[in-house]
């Protein structure tokens, strides 16, 4: 779809702030943030006289024994945590406005597209970092107040969601997965997916060929060239985010319904949000037919392989239907999440032409059949993490495709948790969007199953 096919109203889908006001708002927000920073450094020096406030300034979350601490010391650290929350919230607000200003400068021709992409990537990184430090102070405050989030939990939210909330209120911890364990897990995941979809060809009990969902039997490549591509990255399960995003269906992230078998370069494009997979018929009640759509012009001329004597390029995947060899299909909720995440990502990094795709999917609504795909509060937080989201567009995507089962008794606490989940989601998404991240990539070097 060309720009000329987009109505003037659709072209305004991107959030807009008046140019004159934006510069003033950004300057004012930065001034407030700097003042809070000065206050925080001064208080930290009084609370921790021996600490070097400049050298260790970013280490917001000290190790504090909340059981043996005396009341006076507890109150001092609590005051510091509260001021830290204020400071980091103002810092995040200032960074978001500065990020919006980059987009404004791009639209007005003050900077080039290449300069804007670099500046936006840096702004996103700083926003994520500031959000991390904000959450550290929130965790510190929760521990000092001896709540840890427990007293805020809705008793009907489910054990998985409750455990996930408690996990993110605790200090970040490593998953403990070794490279060998990861390789074994990925090998089993790939084996299970090949069997689940009946995509393998055996000769003398040896796997000789694996079909690709995107290219069907037109690809004659060694088994290792077809990877088990996670629709939702495994990190979402490791970090306990799945229960908060998908509710009781979170366990399915570890099953073949969260996988497509794809030729490696197509899998990379899917990971990097250059391809989305949507229903062929958006009115189909039980979705059996899926197709690819290319949402990044940068891959259109990317070569794939020779099909029936002619070159095949990225653009040839647009509109191409996936091929399945049995009745098994990927989980619609995961493809829906991946679809929304791809659109949010392209907007947040200002990928060229993102407005056109937003307008297209606002008009078409590819997931038109209602379904409780994921928690609405989380999806809204993800969509607006780096800046204001167009509520009209978001409502068109999630009106019938979310559920509102609460996690916390307090709306304010629910929003805080949703914001932190959004930060972690966008951090993982950012790594996949920039390149094939080693932590999330599938190990396809196993020549057997």
Indicate the pTM of the whole model: 0.72
The reply to whether 310 falls in a domain is yes
Q: Are residues 101 and 226 in the same domain?
A: no
Answer yes or no: is pLDDT of 204 > 70. Answer: no
Q: Are residues 248 and 317 in the same domain?
A: yes
User: What is the C-alpha to C-alpha distance for residues 206 and 215, in angstroms, rounded to an integer?
Assistant: 22
Q: Looking at residue 52, what is its pLDDT?
A: 57
Q: Are residues 70 and 115 in the same domain?
A: yes
Q: Tokens for 132, please give them.
A: 């991390």
From the number of C-beta atoms within 10 Å of its C-beta (0-12, 13-18, 19+), residue 445 rates as: exposed
Q: Are residues 53 and 186 in the same domain?
A: no
Contact in structure between 263 and 214 (CB atoms under 8 Å): yes
The reply to whether 213 falls in a domain is yes
Contact in structure between 27 and 107 (CB atoms under 8 Å): no
Answer yes or no: is pLDDT of 69 > 70. Answer: yes
Which one has a higher pLDDT value, 434 or 275?
275
Tell me how far CA of residue 215 lies from CA of 222, 309, 424, in angstroms. 14, 15, 33
Residue 446 banded pLDDT, cuts 50, 70, 90: very low
pLDDT in tens, 108-148: 888 888 888 889 889 888 888 888 888 888 878 877 876 44
Q: Are residues 26 and 139 in the same domain?
A: yes
The reply to whether 7 falls in a domain is no
Q: Looking at residue 445, what is its pLDDT?
A: 33
Which one has a higher pLDDT value, 29 or 56?
29
3-state helix vs strand vs coil in the chain, percent to 5: 55, 10, 35
Residue 274 banded pLDDT, cuts 50, 70, 90: very high
User: What is the C-alpha to C-alpha distance for residues 118 and 131, in angstroms, rounded to an integer?
Assistant: 20
Percent of the chain topping pLDDT 70: 67
The reply to whether 154 falls in a domain is no
Q: Are residues 134 and 200 in the same domain?
A: no
Q: Tokens for 194, please give them.
A: 């090949």
**Could you say which of 127, 146, 165 is where a domain stops?**
146
Residue 395 banded pLDDT, cuts 50, 70, 90: low
pLDDT in tens, 174-192: 555 678 888 888 889 999 9
The reply to whether 169 falls in a domain is no
Q: Are residues 382 and 300 in the same domain?
A: yes
Q: Are residues 49 and 136 in the same domain?
A: yes
Consecutive H or E run containing 303: strand 303-307
Q: Are residues 269 and 413 in the same domain?
A: yes
Q: Are residues 141 and 185 in the same domain?
A: no
Q: Are residues 246 and 323 in the same domain?
A: yes
Nearest alpha carbon to residue 262 among 202, 319, 216, 302: 216
Per the structure, how many domains does the chain have? 2
Residue with tokens 């995440």: 341
pLDDT in tens, 355-391: 888 888 877 778 766 566 667 777 777 777 776 656 5
Residue with tokens 């897990």: 185
The reply to whether 10 falls in a domain is no
Q: Are residues 345 and 426 in the same domain?
A: yes
Tell me whether strands 200-203 and 374-375 are parallel, antiparallel or unpaired: unpaired
Domain extent for 112: 16-146
**Could you say which of 93, 128, 146 is where a domain stops?**
146
The reply to whether 81 falls in a domain is yes
Nearest alpha carbon to residue 64 among 76, 51, 77, 75: 77
Q: Tokens for 214, please give them.
A: 């995107």
Q: Looking at residue 8, what is its pLDDT?
A: 37
Q: Which of 56-65, 101-110, 136-145, 321-330 is predicted least confidently?
A: 56-65
The reply to whether 155 falls in a domain is no
Average pLDDT for 90-115:
88
């Amino acid at each position: 779809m060309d720009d000329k096919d987009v109505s003037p109203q659709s072209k305004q889908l991107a959030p807009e702030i008046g140019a004159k006001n934006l510069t003033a708002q950004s300057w004012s927000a930065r001034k407030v943030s700097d003042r809070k920073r000065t206050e925080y450094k001064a208080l930290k020096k009084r609370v921790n006289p021996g600490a070097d406030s400049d050298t260790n300034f970013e280490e917001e979350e000290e190790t504090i024994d909340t059981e043996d601490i005396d009341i006076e010391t507890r109150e001092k650290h609590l005051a510091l945590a509260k001021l830290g929350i204020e400071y980091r919230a103002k810092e995040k607000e200032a960074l978001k406005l500065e990020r919006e200003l980059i987009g404004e400068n791009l639209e007005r021709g003050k900077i080039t597209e290449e300069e804007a992409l670099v500046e936006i990537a840096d702004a996103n990184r700083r926003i994520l970092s500031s959000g991390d430090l904000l959450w550290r102070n929130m965790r510190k405050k929760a521990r000092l107040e001896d709540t840890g989030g427990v007293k805020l939990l809705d008793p009907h939210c489910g054990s998985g969601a409750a455990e996930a909330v408690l996990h993110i209120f605790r200090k970040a911890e490593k998953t403990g997965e070794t490279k060998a364990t990861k390789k074994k897990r990925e090998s089993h995941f790939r084996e299970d997916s090949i069997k689940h979809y009946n995509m393998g060809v055996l000769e003398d009990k040896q796997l000789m060929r694996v079909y690709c969902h995107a290219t069907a039997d037109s690809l004659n490549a060694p088994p290792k060239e077809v990877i088990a591509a996670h629709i939702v990255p495994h990190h979402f399960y490791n970090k306990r985010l799945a229960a908060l995003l998908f509710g009781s269906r979170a366990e399915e992230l570890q099953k073949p319904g969260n996988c497509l078998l794809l030729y490696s370069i197509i899998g990379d494009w899917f990971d990097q949000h250059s391809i989305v997979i949507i229903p062929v018929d958006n009115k189909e009640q039980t979705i059996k037919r899926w197709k690819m759509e290319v949402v990044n012009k940068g891959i259109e001329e990317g070569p794939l392989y020779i099909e029936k004597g002619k070159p095949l390029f990225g653009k040839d995947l647009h509109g191409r239907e996936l091929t399945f060899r049995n009745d098994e299909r990927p989980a619609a909720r995961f493809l829906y999440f991946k679809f929304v995440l791809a659109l949010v990502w392209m907007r947040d990094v200002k990928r060229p032409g993102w407005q056109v795709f937003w307008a297209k999917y606002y008009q078409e609504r590819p997931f038109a059949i209602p379904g409780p795909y994921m928690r609405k509060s989380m999806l809204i937080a993800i969509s607006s993490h780096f800046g204001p989201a167009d509520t009209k567009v978001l409502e068109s995507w999630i009106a019938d495709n979310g559920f509102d089962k609460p996690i916390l008794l307090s709306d304010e606490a629910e929003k805080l948790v949703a914001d932190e989940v959004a930060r972690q989601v966008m951090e993982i998404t950012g790594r996949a969007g920039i390149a094939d991240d080693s932590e999330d990539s599938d190990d396809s070097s196993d020549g057997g199953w």
